[in-house]
Amino acid sequence: MSKVYTLFCTDVIHEGHLNIIENAKKLGDLTVGVLSDDAMIRYNRFPTLSLQGRIDLVKGIEGVSEVIVQKSVMYDEIFETLRPDYVVHGDNWDDAAMNVIKANILKNIEKYGGELIEIPYTYNANVSKIDEKMQEKLALADFRRARLRKVLAMRDVVKIMQVHSGLTGLIVEKTVIADEDNIDQFDGMWLSSLCDSTDRGKPDIELVDMTSRLRTVGEVLDVTTKPIIIDGDTGGLIEHFVYNVRTLERLGVSAVIIEDKTGLKKNSLFGTEVEQTQDTVENFCRKISAGKAVQRSDDFMIIARCESLILEKGIEDALARCRAYVEAGADGIMIHSRKKDPKEIFDFCDEFRKTDKTTPIVVVPTAFNEVTTEELASHGINIIIYANQLLRAAYPAMTRVAESILRNHRSAEIEDDIIPFKDIIRIIDEL
Ligand code: SPV
Ligand code: MG
């Protein structure tokens, strides 16, 4: 009997899937693959059902002989191990990621034999409605808040990108790269104090206070579903911090990172060029514990950011502080450095991991920008925040445009560098 294979990466079975099964089972013995969590979040939507839940969903369908887990969106392992005679797939090859997958299936067919059977994709109001329901669930506060912890459990390393507005939120939400053998996207968003302040023409000194920052949070929440980590600066007074924890948690923000500085906070990238005061371990621990004590869900994370390396106090000081912060209840630690050479970060992480294997470590590789995700992960780092690159990209681009128009008395010369006006009106979907 012929071996037939089809892959599902869905949380709901609708008539389109049943149509695929109906057609596939006619060709022979049908194995259905369920895409793993890790592969699903790289390529598609975040799963609202656990892997086991998705397996059970498919197992119940008549005509399915076997259900297996497909670990990657690419089919190489499936062809190597299963050698299907037929791969059945919907004909919805309508974006770059889908085209990369199709090319991968055809490459494997050329190597191992077999045939790709394309089934017309079911487009109707019912299917669209299910799609919208899923999207709605992803955007709800409870689901979104919990998503950072979920993604931490699913991926070796979580990649977070800076946002400072609804538009930058949409860029991080929707950007997917699809090269040969690699489909990927960001796991969440960083609401940077530097970028939120700079975008408003203000210095990064906690002048843009939490009430104003919440406006940006609201704009981003409104148009995205990915988890948000907010830069909480110093967290302010303990008496104020507890209220902000409650608010952030209720809105669906996943984590706040607060740094162990006090008084007039300046941006860390100034290092010791400006006066900055580190908080006492005792006071900062009190702040962490107070925040943990008021939060209502188990999902919200308070991450403690240590500035010892920024203030050139050495690794031993950083280690002692971070261990104390974890003891006080921090759900993660962030270790920051402004050195180009990542050695002090690596030394810190290697040492920290000797006694603490589980507390998530966060880094912001703005200065040590040549280090790859994989290399950071190999030192036990779990969350990487690309903290300011979208804003830094926008500034020179906008300045160039302003200069060009002044110089040329018209905008024609800069047109090729900017998005055509016929496209800008279409980048935002209407309801
Ligand atoms: C921010 O993005 O605001 C940060 C990271 O706090 S840094 O600018 O490197 O201090
Ligand atoms: Mg900041």
Determine the distance separating the centroid of ligand 1 and the alpha carbon of 284, expressed in angstroms: 19
Q: How far apart are CA 375 and CA 372, in angstroms?
A: 5
Mean pLDDT of 114-139: 88
Q: Quick one: which ligand is closest to 268's CA? A: 1
Nearest CA to ligand 1 atom 10: 268
Mean pLDDT of 327-337: 98
Q: Which pLDDT value is given to residue 121? A: 87
* Calculated CA dihedral for residues 189, 192, 196, 198, nearest 10 degrees: -130
Q: Are 259 and 265 in contact (CB under 8 A)?
A: yes
Mean pLDDT of 319-344: 98
Return the CATH number of the domain spanning residue range 140-387.
Answer: 3.20.20.60
Determine the distance separating the centroid of ligand 2 and the alpha carbon of 92, expressed in angstroms: 42
- Annotated catalytic, 204? yes
Q: Quick one: which ligand is closest to 162's CA? A: 1
Task: Give yes or no for residue 382 having a pLDDT over 80.
Answer: yes
With a 6 Å cutoff on the Cβ, whether 269 touches ligand 1 is yes
CA 213 vs CA 57, 166, 196, 426: distances in Å? 42, 13, 7, 28
Residue spans of the domains in the chain: they are 3-129, 140-387, 394-427
With a 6 Å cutoff on the Cβ, whether 244 touches ligand 1 is no
Q: Which pLDDT value is given to residue 73? A: 93
Q: Could you report the per-residue pLDDT of 42-78, keeping only the tens digit for each?
A: 987 899 999 999 999 999 899 999 999 999 999 999 9
Mean pLDDT of 198-217: 97
Q: Which of 260, 201, 272 is nearest to 233 (CA)?
A: 260
Q: Could you report the per-residue pLDDT of 86-126, keeping only the tens digit for each?
A: 999 999 898 888 999 999 999 999 999 999 999 998 888 88
Q: Write down how long the chain is.
A: 431
With a 6 Å cutoff on the Cβ, whether 276 touches ligand 1 is no
Q: Which pLDDT value is given to residue 391? A: 98
- Residue 139 pLDDT grade (very low, low, confident, very high; cuts 50, 70, 90): very high
Q: How far apart are CA 221 and CA 89, in angstroms?
A: 34
Comparison of pLDDT for 122 and 150, the residue scoring more: 150
Question: What SS3 class is residue 78?
Answer: helix
Q: Could you report the per-residue pLDDT of 7-42, keeping only the tens digit for each?
A: 999 888 889 999 999 999 999 999 999 999 999 999
Return the CATH number of the domain spanning residue range 3-129.
Answer: 3.40.50.620
pTM value? 0.95
With a 6 Å cutoff on the Cβ, whether 267 touches ligand 1 is yes
Q: How far apart are CA 326 and CA 421, in angstroms?
A: 51
For residue 305, give the ligand 1 atom closest to its CA. Answer: 6
Question: What SS3 class is residue 340?
Answer: coil
Q: Which pLDDT value is given to residue 94? A: 84
Q: Quick one: which ligand is closest to 269's CA? A: 1
Q: Which of 134, 99, 102 is nearest to 14 (CA)?
A: 134
Which is it for the CA torsion 44, 46, 52, 53, positive or negative?
A: negative
Q: Which pLDDT value is given to residue 127? A: 82
Q: Which pLDDT value is given to residue 431? A: 78
Task: Give yes or no for residue 130 having a pLDDT over 90.
Answer: no
Comparison of pLDDT for 263 and 105, the residue scoring more: 105
Q: Which pLDDT value is given to residue 269? A: 87
Q: Could you report the per-residue pLDDT of 156-196, keeping only the tens digit for each?
A: 899 999 999 999 999 999 999 998 878 999 999 999 999 99
Q: How many CB atoms lie within 10 A of CB 340?
A: 11
Residue that is written with structure tokens 């079975």 in the block: 13
Mean pLDDT of 363-380: 98
- Residue 375 pLDDT grade (very low, low, confident, very high; cuts 50, 70, 90): very high
- Residue 223 pLDDT grade (very low, low, confident, very high; cuts 50, 70, 90): very high
- Eight-class DSSP state of 12: S
Q: Which of 247, 282, 291 is nearest to 262 (CA)?
A: 282
